[in-house]
């Protein structure tokens, strides 16, 4: 049976409002964020982590030799794109750490709740008042589905069966 009470916490309505407000503030400070579909993502030039060195070296060359570039080439935009990507990666890293901790906390809270549910189900099977019989049977469906869903496969043939 899972352990229960690994975490004891609540979120007040005020805290939830503050969190949602903070998320809205983050979004309002990033008005340029874009939504892309799968086709649009496929059409983008691929410039992942392994390309970072290439990008840095190309920026150095562009800054040191602007005369080799086309007239309409905007070094300032190149710099700005590099800085924006770096800043957004910093934000992403911080948010990923937060999301990982939130995800882990959800798992612990659900594990606690599942432990409580198992105790409730076990006790209701043993001593539920007549009015809770249907609810207890409904809870039992969670386990009935699992055992009904398993298909029995034929046992593999033994060596002696194969040879005969």
Name the residue with higher pLDDT: 133 or 28.
Answer: 28
pLDDT tens by residue, 8-46: 899 999 999 999 999 999 999 999 999 999 999 999 998
Average pLDDT score over residue span 93-112: 96
Percent of the chain with pLDDT over 70: 85
The CA distance from 4 to 111, in Å, is 7
> For the chain, what is the total number of helices (H) and then of strands (E)?
6, 0
Check whether 157 has a pLDDT greater than 70: no
The CA distance from 17 to 84, in Å, is 29
Check whether 3 has a pLDDT greater than 70: no
Check whether 150 has a pLDDT greater than 80: no
Burial profile 22-46: b = 16 or more Cβ within 10 angstroms, e = fewer: eeeeeeeeeeeeeeeeeeeeeeeee
Average pLDDT score over residue span 86-106: 97
Residue 21 has what pLDDT?
A: 98
Segment holding 117, helix H or strand E? helix 75-127
**SS3 category, 45:** coil
CA quadruple 58, 59, 60, 61: dihedral sign: positive
Average pLDDT, the chain: 85
Angle of the 52-64 helix axis to the 75-127 helix axis, nearest 10: 160
Residue 92 token pair:
């992403």
Name the residue with higher pLDDT: 20 or 1.
Answer: 20
Mean pLDDT lowest for which of 76-85, 109-118, 122-131?
Answer: 122-131
Residue 84 has what pLDDT?
A: 97
């Amino acid at each position: 049976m899972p352990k229960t009470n690994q975490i004891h916490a609540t979120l007040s309505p005020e805290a939830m409002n503050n969190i949602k407000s903070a998320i809205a503030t983050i979004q309002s400070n990033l008005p340029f964020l874009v939504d892309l579909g799968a086709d649009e993502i496929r059409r983008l030039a691929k410039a992942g982590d392994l390309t970072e060195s290439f990008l840095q070296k190309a920026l150095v060359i562009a800054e040191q030799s602007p005369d080799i570039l086309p007239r309409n080439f905007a070094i300032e935009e190149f710099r700005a794109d590099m800085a924006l990507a770096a800043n957004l990666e910093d934000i992403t890293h911080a948010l990923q750490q937060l999301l990982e901790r939130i995800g882990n906390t959800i798992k612990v809270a659900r594990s606690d709740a599942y432990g409580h549910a198992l105790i409730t189900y076990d006790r209701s099977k043993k001593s539920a008042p007549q009015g809770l019989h249907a609810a207890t049977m409904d809870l039992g469906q969670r386990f009935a589905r699992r055992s009904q869903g398993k298909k029995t496969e034929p046992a593999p043939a033994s060596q002696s069966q194969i040879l005969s």
